[in-house]
Amino acid sequence: MRTSVCREFLLYLDRNGELDVGESPKAVVKWLKQSNLPFDLKHLLHFDWPQKTAEILPWLRLSAAKEIPALEARNKLLRHGFLQVGSSVGGDPLVIRWDLEPFEVGFLTHEEFWGQDVEPQKVYARIARSLESLLYRVVEDRYVPIDYYAAKDINAFLAEEARDASGKLQRRSGSRTSARGDKAK
C-alpha cells in the first residue's frame, strides 16, 4: 500500500474540510497497536484517515477513524483479513481486504453477511485493485460501482471483455451470414 498516495488523495478529497483527515484519537491508536493489521494500513489509519464520517461519492461513505474499531462485525472480519472502512448508501460494507497484496477494496453484500455465519470471502466483490486505485477513481470522477451487486456484475462483464480481447471466446461454428441472411464469402 502506498500510504503517501492514499494520504494525498484523501487530503484532496478533504479540500472543503468534510473529512477532517488527520491523526486519530488515542483510543483508536491504542486499538491499532493491538490489532493484527499490516503496518502500512495501521500507519494510514493512525496518521492520515478521515476523522469525520463523510460521503466521498453520493453512494459511498468513509467511516471516521473512531468508528472503525467499534463496527459490529470487526472481529469476524479481521479474522478473515478484512477491515470495514465505510459503506455503500444501501448498507453494503466497504472493506479493505488486507490478506492479499496489494490490499484490494470491495463490498460485502449486507443481505448475506449480517447475522449469517458466512465467510466474508464468499460474499465479497472487488471494486478496486487497491485503496489507492479507489481513491484515484473518486478524485478523477471515474466509475465506481454503487454496491455489491453492481460490483459483481461489472467484474463478470470485465472478465468477459478480457477473455474476448485475448481471443479466448469461442466463435460459433458454421458459416457466417449477413444481417440480410446472405451467406458470407
The tens digit of pLDDT for each residue in 44-54 reads 999 999 999 99
Please check whether residue 146 lies inside any domain of the structure.
yes
User: Domain limits at 147?
Assistant: 3-165
**pLDDT reading at 63 higher than 50:** yes
**pLDDT reading at 113 higher than 80:** no
What is the CATH classification number for the domain harbouring 84?
Answer: 3.40.1580.10
Q: In this structure, are residues 43 and 63 in contact, taking their beta carbons and an 8 Å threshold? A: no
Q: In this structure, are residues 140 and 134 in contact, taking their beta carbons and an 8 Å threshold? A: no
* Count of structural domains, the chain: 1
Please check whether residue 174 lies inside any domain of the structure.
no
Please check whether residue 50 lies inside any domain of the structure.
yes
Residue 3: what pLDDT?
Answer: 95
Please check whether residue 57 lies inside any domain of the structure.
yes
Please check whether residue 148 lies inside any domain of the structure.
yes
Q: In this structure, are residues 50 and 9 in contact, taking their beta carbons and an 8 Å threshold? A: no
Residue 141: what pLDDT?
Answer: 95
| Tens-digit pLDDT profile for residues 140-183 | 999 999 999 999 999 999 999 998 877 755 555 555 544 455 55
Residue 98: what pLDDT?
Answer: 94
Please check whether residue 92 lies inside any domain of the structure.
yes
- The pTM for the full model equals 0.85
- Split at pLDDT 50, 70, 90, the class of 78 is very high
Q: What percent of the chain has pLDDT over 70?
A: 89
**pLDDT reading at 75 higher than 60:** yes
Question: Mean per-residue pLDDT for 102-116?
Answer: 85
Please check whether residue 176 lies inside any domain of the structure.
no
Residue 126: what pLDDT?
Answer: 96
Please check whether residue 181 lies inside any domain of the structure.
no
Could you give the C-alpha distances from 56 to 28, 61, 73, 109, in angstroms and in order? 22, 6, 23, 20
